[in-house]
Amino acid sequence: MSASSSSGSPAPTVAVVGATGLVGETVLRVFEERGFPVGELRALGSARSAGTRVHFRGKEHAVEEATTERLRGADFVFFAATGELSRSMAPAAAAAGAVVIDKSSTWRMAAHVPLVVPEINPGALAPFGRTGGIVSCPNCTTIGLVMALEPLRRAAGLAHVTVTTLQAASGAGREGLDELRGQRSALFPRALAGNVIPQCERFQESGYTTEEQKLSDETRKILALPALPVTMTCVRVPVAVGHSAAVLVETEHPLSPEEALDALRAFPGLSVGSANEYTTPLELAGRDDVHRDDVHVGRVRRDPTHPRRLWLWTVVDNIRKGAATNAVQIAEELLARR
């Protein structure tokens, strides 16, 4: 890879905090697949992971401990680690001129921080120009939902959304996968193997979990519909990779299943078959083609109890489009704007 981008300007210096984690490793892989210009790579992590090595573009890179000093001079900083690291280091990196793209929940609902899915609200990145700042990457469950909702919103408006998510173990990181495989325990509130758990993260006084609260709040912010009624149940299922959802959408104006399918097919980043077709997490996680980062939508049908309600099924790779790919797409959008 040359030291300059396709525009002829120097390729950016990129820091990845959490480079040894599931999402961090996938960020590096997506850089390679999409040809993202990286002049200097700084692979960073916790003190515990310092000294390990990651592979990137045919070379091994030593992982260093993430410090404010190691973020200085970076053009892009990807936080794919704990919220605590982002909370303590992101503001200083942004103040020094870096664009911080954060995958944790730390900054998502901050009024001054854009929450971005590039296919939906790229205009939220307009204030950045050539200056630094923090951009938040939504929850992996939220991304799959809003990608399916946005074309329906544009076609007929949204009046109400009810969703039941079926979330893979990897949504809790590498530790979640270990627990699914029986290599550890106590991460989830009940045994996950051979089971389903109607609880993702911790309960609040309302009876809803923090994961459910994120899904509601983030959906409204991304779609710029602060009063949209969104209600949900988030369920952990014994699947390694791939978040699914059964979604009931009530539109403001009548929309037939055929019209909904047309709107969904015309929207970038979606894979849509016929009304009765659907994709499963196992099928999506095994894909190695141009559609692996798409949100897959199927089973689009009218709710027989209401003339403006439609049911649909969605599946998203929570590690790729639900996390790493969306973060890289944000950086690509910012480079294109410069």
Place of tokens 């969104």: 230
DSSP letters spanning 271-334: EE--TT----HHHHHT--STTTTSEEEEEEEE-TT-TTEEEEEEEE-TTIIIIIHHHHHHHHHH
- CA proximity to 55, closest of 26, 81, 15: 26
Indicate which residues carry an active-site annotation: 140, 243
Closest to 66 measured CA to CA, from 80, 58, 57? 80
Helix (H) or strand (E) holding 71: helix 68-71
Do the beta carbons of residue 115 and residue 136 sit within 8 Å? yes
DSSP 209: B
Alpha-carbon distance of 61 to 235, in angstroms, equals 37
Scan for tokens 């969703």, then name that residue: 163
Strands (DSSP E) along the chain, which ranges? 13-17, 40-45, 53-56, 59-62, 64-65, 76-79, 99-102, 133-136, 158-167, 230-236, 243-251, 270-272, 295-302, 309-316
Question: How far is Cα 253 from Cα 308, in angstroms, rounded to an integer?
Answer: 7
Which token pair is 172?
Answer: 């809790």
Beta carbons within 10 angstroms of residue 40's beta carbon: 14
